[in-house]
Amino acid sequence: MKKSFFLFAGLIALTACDKRPEKANIVVLCTTDLHGAVMNRNYISGEEAKFSLSNVSSAVDSIRAIYKDNVILLDAGDFLQGQPSIYYSNFEDTVGPHIQSKAMNFMKYDAATVGNHDVEPGERVYDKIVKEFNFPWLSANIIDKRTGKPYFEPYTVINKDGIKIAILGLTTPAIPTWLPENLWPNMEFVDMVESAKHWVPIIHKKEKPDLLIGLFHSGTDYTTGGNTMDTPLNENGGVPVATKVDGFDIIFLGHDHSGVVKDIENDYGNTVKVINSETAARFLGYANIDLKKNKKGGYNKEINAELINMSKFQKSKAFDSYVSKDDSIFAAYVNKKIGTLGSALEARPGLYGPSQFNSLIHKAQMMGTNADISMVGLLSTNDVINKGDVYLKDMFSLYKYENQLYTMRMTGEEVKKFLEYGYAKQYNKMKSDKDLLLNYKKDENGNLLKDSRGRNMTATPSFNYISAEGINYTVDITKDEGSRVNIISMSDGKPFDMNKNYMIAINSYQGSGGGGFLTEGLGLSKDEIKNRIQPGDQPFVRALLVDYISSVDTVKVSPKLNWKVIPERLFEAGKKNEGAMKQSR
């Protein structure tokens, strides 16, 4: 009886010490994959930006006016790449505050997570900007090899209206597949599920949060690349974490630019709200959480979520005024003339065959390496650079990413396998003139899958559509995967030898294993890939293009007709079907 009395008295004491409110309302907002959509201007086109952080700033101000201090503003990563303004802050003005930190501090972000494109600028950039942020930059699964501890803060705790909110950050661990090691020399990337299983119990035991939020730079589709729920180091490990690790209330995702709001029932019978707010400030992730205390001392939570379209909000005059001086600097930077084009460069023909757009990149890569063969992915499908004066901004249309240039050794047989892998992903096997040319994702019933904007989803992103120069070859779209490519000769007429070693000019994304060309197509391990890369300079591809265009009076590029898709009758029919499909949407 005495024991029961003291137990009852203890419960009364605990209840008396519990100063948390009986109920509360918290709003969580999240941007992701901004990719340079900071300023109220597209510095590549020169036009006013349709969406930017200026719209988001207006939306956030409006929501804060309603919910006061009970609003949390987050970002799920990938903001250090995309627009010339970001490039300028990354590599040109290396002393002053970064435009991204200035903008996010002005908007009073509460936390952000590191994305793969935030690692891409290199150690000097991310080590500098993390010090500029007025909020924690999170990633529990990026480990500092020098200390064995997280390179960035693993999680943070925020108090709103008496409610304790913990936020755990995780980053896609596939970064070593895409980025050369010199960009992350002191980092190691741990599986997301493994990291979450380690940190979630620590957070619940140490912090005892009322609400646990996952802030992950990782996509929604965990099956990408043939992965499963159990694949280690899954590029898109967010849903596996939501499923396998209990304790999360909400998880914000990013990385794959998909617009998603859905509930996931995890392995423990609990529901986790998952939100992915697309890209480039088009949408703002919104979660409204009502908390009501229950008899167990915790909270019952009702979570309503949606994606708010930023077209509903005008630009923020206060935000635009704050960054106006930076806008003038960026505009002057990108409008520097670097040369003259003798003819327009159109990206779209690269979907189907040789193009002037890709031929210029091939030319720069061959000149930068003296390689035998050049491999180039299709980095744009719609950009056009007009004939006449060409400016620095045009180089961000021509080459969007901060890729370095490798020289890599491959046998002739491996060159063929490399191309076979790429064209299997790019082209459909055509059986009649009614078939589509490109390869699309399909459901179990054979219906084309669409993304959040209603676009048909290709089997692989178009930046994995490959082409080669230095060899003459055909791609037969009536053949099975693995037997489509016929390499006829070297482009100078010399025989192509399956057993000979060739030097290949290739960007650091594909040359590190990105797109699966080397790992799945050739079956190389990470160590084997490293051993294939030749020592020496590894310049940025865009810089090579600027140097080349600046070095000649007028750039004249004719697409090298060194490869084509056959049979031509089906090829032309497939292209026509593609056009008809796009017009009908």
Lookup: tokens for 219:
């996509």
CA dihedral 95, 99, 102, 106 (to 10 degrees): 170
What ranges do the domains of the chain cover?
27-330, 337-584
Phi, psi values for residue 349, rounded to 5°? -55, -20
**Which residues, in sequence order, are CB contacts of 413 under 8 Å at separation 6+?**
498, 499
Q: Where are the alpha helices (DSSP H) in 523-567?
A: 526-532, 541-551
Contact criterion met (CB below 8 Å) for 75 and 103: no
CATH of domain 337-584: 3.90.780.10
d(CA 412, CA 10): 77
Residue with tokens 């006061």: 68
d(CA 249, CA 218): 17
**Which residues, in sequence order, are CB contacts of 434 under 8 Å at separation 6+?**
573, 577
State the pLDDT at residue 7.
39
Looking at CATH, the fold of the domain delimited by 27-330 is given as Purple Acid Phosphatase; chain A, domain 2 (3.60.21)
d(CA 348, CA 118): 28
Ranges under pLDDT 50 in the chain: 1-16, 583-585
Sign of the CA dihedral 524, 528, 533, 538?
positive
Contact criterion met (CB below 8 Å) for 216 and 170: yes
For residue 169, give the nearest of 237, 217, 230 by alpha carbon: 217
Sign of the CA dihedral 506, 507, 512, 514?
negative
Contact criterion met (CB below 8 Å) for 425 and 481: no
Phi-psi region of 173 (alpha: psi -120 to 50; beta: other; left: phi over 0): alpha
Phi, psi values for residue 406, rounded to 5°? -105, 155
State the pLDDT at residue 6.
38
Q: 396 exposed, middle or buried (CB, 10 Å; 0-12, 13-18, 19+)?
A: buried
For residue 416, give the nearest of 483, 322, 360, 351 by alpha carbon: 483
State the pLDDT at residue 582.
60
State the pLDDT at residue 12.
43
State the pLDDT at residue 581.
63
In this predicted model, what pLDDT tens digit does every residue of 173-199 receive, in sequence order?
A: 999 999 999 999 999 999 999 999 999
Within this chain, domains 27-330 and 337-584 share the same CATH topology: no
